[in-house]
Structure 1
């Protein structure tokens, strides 16, 4: 097995540096039919796909999200800019959280800020989160470099022909542990929200 993990790491770190978000200004200001929503999301998020044939969002997914209260129903079969913003949140959460957890997390947002005259609206909430996340990219890159360096120091006594795989395995375990711990924290925080498992 010959993987140039250093090159792979640098490529990943560069791609993290290019992470961007769908800017609200790029979301059409007119209400969209479902086909237009799926086409828009596919175009905007295609760089996040692992495999070419993967679908970002399908009609079935959108219908399920509405049925499971993740997304307010469309108005006369049309979806607003706010619907699209909620769908973007759902897209990022669905790889990490259960549908029920996403519903609990988003319900206070959609109840209070969706199509309302509140001081904050969905667009402001979305932009603030994106700004905060963009500000963390360098810190994340540094953390990933540290995990990689730690893995490269592992298995010094292993046979040379096995060391590369074992170090890659250690790096993946390091990254996975980070995700595992943060997922546990996220779930515990969601349990505290209205509708969560912890009853007030």
Structure 2
């Protein structure tokens, strides 16, 4: 369990400036996401079909000349981590709303920071106490914290279930 704890508290989501600057074709997007999300994705849930479905459902904008930008990648990171928590339609509504409050870059970086802290506080709560939800804070920040904390606990549950007996 120690190596698992270390893996989770050391996991780092790529920040906006670390996402590829060049636009990617769908197969490149799939490989990029699968690689970065491997610790959380036991079913290999990143596929070209799923990405195409999110475009058709207007959860993300269509690619330009079959290429996906940084903005697409940021949305895909959020979608592919959070889709286990809620239906895609609700997730799309949340993403759209967040874009009205924050610039995409800022919203994505905030999501990354909160996700990393949620993982740390779930896997090593004595060292990283869970953050409180403060009603005086923006509702959007509390929403992100709640979503990321729920995801982190889901990851812990999955990992505990899969431990050898």
Shorter chain as normaliser: what TM range? 0.5 to 0.7
The 3 A distance-change label for structure 1 pair 24 and 56 is farther
- Structure 2: distance between partners of 1:106 and 1:61: 17
The 3 A distance-change label for structure 1 pair 11 and 70 is same
Which structure 2 segments of 5+ residues have no match? 127-148, 155-165
The 3 A distance-change label for structure 1 pair 39 and 136 is closer
Conservation of the 8 A alpha-carbon contact between 1:46 and 1:56: no
The 3 A distance-change label for structure 1 pair 42 and 137 is closer
**Bigger Rg over Cα:** 1
Aligned ranges 1:158-169 → 2 under 5 Å = none
| Residue 142 (str. 1) matches residue 134 (str. 2) | no
Tell me the secondary structure at the aligned position of residue 73 of structure 1: coil
- Structure 1: distance between partners of 2:98 and 2:125: 32
Aligned ranges 1:63-78 → 2 under 5 Å = 63-78=52-67
The 3 A distance-change label for structure 1 pair 133 and 45 is closer
Deviations 1:95-117, CA, capped at 9 Å, x for gaps: 1111121122112245x48xxxx
- Aligned residue for 1:48? 40
- Aligned residue for 2:23? 31
RMSD: 2.7
How far did 1:75 drift?
Answer: 1.5
Q: TM-score, normalised by structure 2?
A: 0.65
Q: Among 101, 105, 111, which residue is 2:94 paired with?
A: 105
Deviations 1:108-141, CA, capped at 9 Å, x for gaps: 245x48xxxxxx5312211122223334454322
- Structure 1: distance between partners of 2:33 and 2:119: 23
